Structure 1
Amino acid sequence: MRLDKFLSHMGLGSRKEVKTFLKKEKIEINGIQIKDGKVSVDENNDIVTLNGEVLYYESEFYYLLHKPQGVISATEDRQHRTVLDLLKAEDYREDLFPVGRLDKDTTGLLLITNDGKLSHELLSPKKHVSKRYYATISGIVTAEDKRVFSEGMLISGGEKCLPGHLEIEGIDLDLNQSYVRVTISEGKYHQVKRMFEALGKQVLTLHRETMGPLVLEEALKIGTYRKLTEKELLKLKTYRRA
C-alpha cells in the first residue's frame, strides 16, 4: 500500500496530515528515509520506522471499555461526551465506533473497534449473542417474573422478546428494591428497561457485565479501557452463536 495510507492506518493522521508529518519526522523504509507518501510499502515484510522506532502495522483495533454514566455510545455528538472522547489521543482513530449501544445512564462493557464485519456478526439479530446485566430494580422481583422472562414476553410496542434468564441476587424490603442479573440474547431498544416495565417495575441502575465471551473485570476502572488480548479476540471471532 502507499506509505501515506500505511501511516494514516497507524493513527498518525489523515492522508493530508501525513504529508506534513513526513516532512517533519524521520520515516524510513528498510533503512532508507522517505518523504514521499506515494511510495509503496509492503506492510507485512518491509520495516518501517518512525524516528528509529519500528511501526508494527495494524489495520483492525479492538478495545474493551468500561463505560461510565453520562457518556453516550456514539462516534460524535455536539452536546454530549461520547465513548470515543474517552480514548487517548494516540489510540483515537476516525474509523473507530462502539459495537451496539448502551444507554446514556447505563454503565459497563462496551466494545470499540473498526472491524465492521465483526460488529455485524455480534449485532445481527440472527446470531443471538448473549449479554448479561446487573440491575437495581424498583419493586420486588418474584419467581413469577423469572418464569415470564424464561418463556419470552411482550414489551411496549407489541414487540416479542426471546426467552431470557433472570436471577434474583437480593431483596431490600425497606427500600422496595431488588438486585438482579439478567441475560438476554437480543439488543432491542431499551430492552431490559422495557422488559421490567412490562412487569410493572422500573430499572434504577443497569450495568453490562458480559457480551458473548467478553467479561468486564473489576480491575478495569470505570471510564478506562484496554486492548483485547489475543486470547479474547480469538474467542470473540470463533464464538459459537445460537
Structure 2
Amino acid sequence: MNMRLDKFLTQSSVGTRKVVRTYIKDGLVKINGQVKMEPSIEIDEYFDVIEYLDKVVEYTEKVYYMFNKPAGCITARRDKINKTVFDFFNNDSSKGIFHVGRLDKDTEGLLLFTNDGEFEHKLMYPEKHVEKTYFFWALGSLEEEDKRKLEQGVYISKGEILTKPAKIKVDKQGVYKDFKHEIYIDKLNNIDSGQYNQAVVSGYLTISEGRKHQVKRMLKSVGCKVVYLKRISIGGLMLDESLEKGQYRFLTDIELEKLFE
C-alpha cells in the first residue's frame, strides 16, 4: 500500500501537513537512508524506513472512536479538580488520541476521538460546514418568530458576527408540570414545587459552527435558558444510543463515510 511521504509524517504525528512539507524540503527526512526533498513522493508505510532528524518514524494506524459523553466531566486530557473524558478510556485505547472538538461539562452525547489530524480538520473547521445536531430542554418558549430568527442567524454576543443559518425543530412545548418526568436531570435550576407552570420547550437545533457555548447562547438570544443539552449527531453520523454513558467503541467504515455526507 502506498502513501504520500507528507501524509505519512502527518499521520505519524511529526507535524501538520504544512510543517512536514517544510521538513522534507529542508532535507530533514530520509527514505531508506536517502534524503528525499519531494513531499508528494510515495512510500510504503509498512516496509520503507522513514527517518526524521535521523530517528526512525514509526507508522501509527489511524483509529476513530465514538464516545457517549456523560454530563459532569470536562473535555480535556487531565484536570486537577474535575473528571475528564479520558478517565473513561483504558491506557491502550487512549494512547495518542485526542478529542475532536469539545462538549461543555454539563453537555452529554456524541464526542469523537482520533489520532488523525486531517480527520479533525475536515470536521471542525468552519469552512467545512459539517452540521451538528443537539437535543435540548429549555426554560421558555419558542414562537414562530423565534424559530425564524434562529434559522436566519442571531447575534449571541457584542462584537461577534451573526451566527450562520441554523435548523430548529420544536419537539414539545408547554409547562413544566406536564413534562417533569421527561426532563431527566438530577437538579433542575430555577424549578421548584411552586413553579410547575414554568414554560418549557424541547427540540433539536442544528448548527454548522463551533463557537463557545453556541447552542446555549443562541437559545438565550430568543429568551430560552437551556437546562439539558445532548449532541445527537455530527454530519450524517448518529449517536449509537446502545452505548451507555461513558462507553466508547470504534467507528465502522460506513459511519466514517456518513460523517461527511
Normalising by structure 2, we get a TM-score of 0.67
Give CA-to-partner distance per residue, 1:110-146, whole Å, 9 cap, x none: 0011111110111111111100000001001111111
SS at 2:121 equivalent: helix
What is the Cα-based RMSD across aligned positions, in Å?
2.0
CA distance in 1, matches of 2:106, 2:167: 22
Q: Partner letter of residue 86 of structure 2?
A: L
CA distance in 2, matches of 1:58, 1:212: 26
Q: 1:58 Cα deviation (Å)? A: 5.3
Partner residue in 1 for 2:124: 123
CA distance in 1, matches of 2:77, 2:227: 26
Picking from 221, 226, 242, the partner of 2:244 is 221
CA distance in 2, matches of 1:227, 1:43: 23
Partner residue in 1 for 2:218: 195
Q: 1:218 Cα deviation (Å)? A: 1.5
Partner residue in 1 for 2:257: 234
Partner residue in 2 for 1:59: 61
Identity of aligned residues (%): 42
Partner residue in 1 for 2:25: none
Partner residue in 2 for 1:39: none
Q: 1:44 Cα deviation (Å)? A: 3.7
Partner residue in 2 for 1:179: 202
Picking from 87, 90, 113, the partner of 2:89 is 87
CA distance in 2, matches of 1:169, 1:235: 25
SS at 1:189 equivalent: coil
1:164 correspondence with 2:187: no
Q: 1:230 Cα deviation (Å)? A: 1.7
Structure 1 unmatched ranges of 5 or more: 1-8, 10-41, 46-56
SS at 1:172 equivalent: strand
Query: How many residues are aligned here?
Result: 187
- Contact 2:141/2:223, CA 8 A, preserved across alignment: no
Moved more, 214-223 or 127-136: 214-223
CA distance in 2, matches of 1:131, 1:161: 14
> After the TM superposition, which segments of 4 or more aligned residues of structure 1 sit over 4 Å from their partners?
none
- Contact 2:167/2:205, CA 8 A, preserved across alignment: yes
CA distance in 1, matches of 2:154, 2:113: 31
Q: 1:43 Cα deviation (Å)? A: 6.8
Normalising by structure 1, we get a TM-score of 0.72
Moved more, 81-90 or 125-134: 81-90
